[in-house]
Homo-oligomer: A and B are copies of this chain.
Amino acid sequence: MEIKVAVAKVGKWASSESGDTLEMIERPRGGISFVLVDGQRSGRGAKAVSNLVARKAISELGEGVRDGAAARAAHDYLFTHRGGKVSATLNILSVDLASKTLVLSRNNPCPTIVVTPDGDLQLIDEPSDPVGVRSWTKPQITELPLVSGTLVVVYTDGLEMAGARSEPVFDVPAAVRELLARGSSGARDVADGLLERALQLDARRPQDDISVLALAVGGDGADGTRRMSVRLPL
């Protein structure tokens, strides 16, 4: 079996820095974790906040701390350092080889999309607070079996607000369904397809930082080689 993960990430139009941060870290007991943070507002200030939250989370995860505790630590750290005045959304998506599960930790009003092996699309959308502003904020945690055919999509609010003046117009779950119906089953196709649709809605001038992460379980992974590719426009 094989895990494929794809990230597509673009900054707000004409803004020097993206306020979204995506980091990846190996889990010392086996597996890998992805941490996606969207700092409040945009530009340099948002970047500093999202960096701080992401760094705290990956430093905990890299030491073997469980996901729920890492998310709590990231909240407490931001809350303490910024006096409860700055918020950030935080998603942790982990492939945990010790428990043989996917662990989804969510401090983000944006839902997480899960497509099960039988093609059922589920929204994880229970109320969930960003980190940094309310005492004792906890993540909402979902654990899924590592089963071939599972697809998970996590994103920041820039995606669902694409093209919006006041109300959201981009129905992200519907777009995922459409991409799957058109045969785009891979993580790369889904991440790129969603970002492309958002860029069209924003007339290619994104009104906010947009990040999409898609993870697909499947394939045979027969050659045993781990691969990573990164493209970084300057």
Contact = CB atoms under 8 A, between A and B. Distances in A.
Contacts of A95: 232
Contacts of A230: 3-6, 24, 32, 226-228
A3 B231 contact: yes
Contacts of A28: 48, 51
Contacts of A233: 1-3, 221-226
A230 B48 CA distance: 26
A78 to B, nearest CB: 15
A51 B62 contact: yes
A156 interface: no
Contacts of A222: 233
A25 B62 CA distance: 13
A70 to B, nearest CB: 14
Nearest to A4: B231
- For chain A, give the interface size range: 35 or more
A10 interface: yes
A192 B146 CA distance: 27
Nearest to A51: B28
B21 A26 contact: yes
Contact of A226 (B10, B59, B226): B10
A221 B195 contact: no
Contact of A234 (B3, B9, B21): B3
A197 interface: no
A59 to B, nearest CB: 6
Interface of A: 1-11, 17, 21-26, 28, 30, 32, 48, 51, 54-55, 58-59, 62-63, 95, 97, 146, 187-188, 192, 195, 221-234
21 contacts: A1-B233, A1-B234, A2-B232, A3-B234, A4-B230, A7-B226, A7-B228, A9-B226, A10-B224, A11-B224, A23-B24, A24-B24, A24-B230, A26-B54, A51-B62, A95-B232, A146-B234, A195-B225, A221-B233, A224-B233, A227-B229
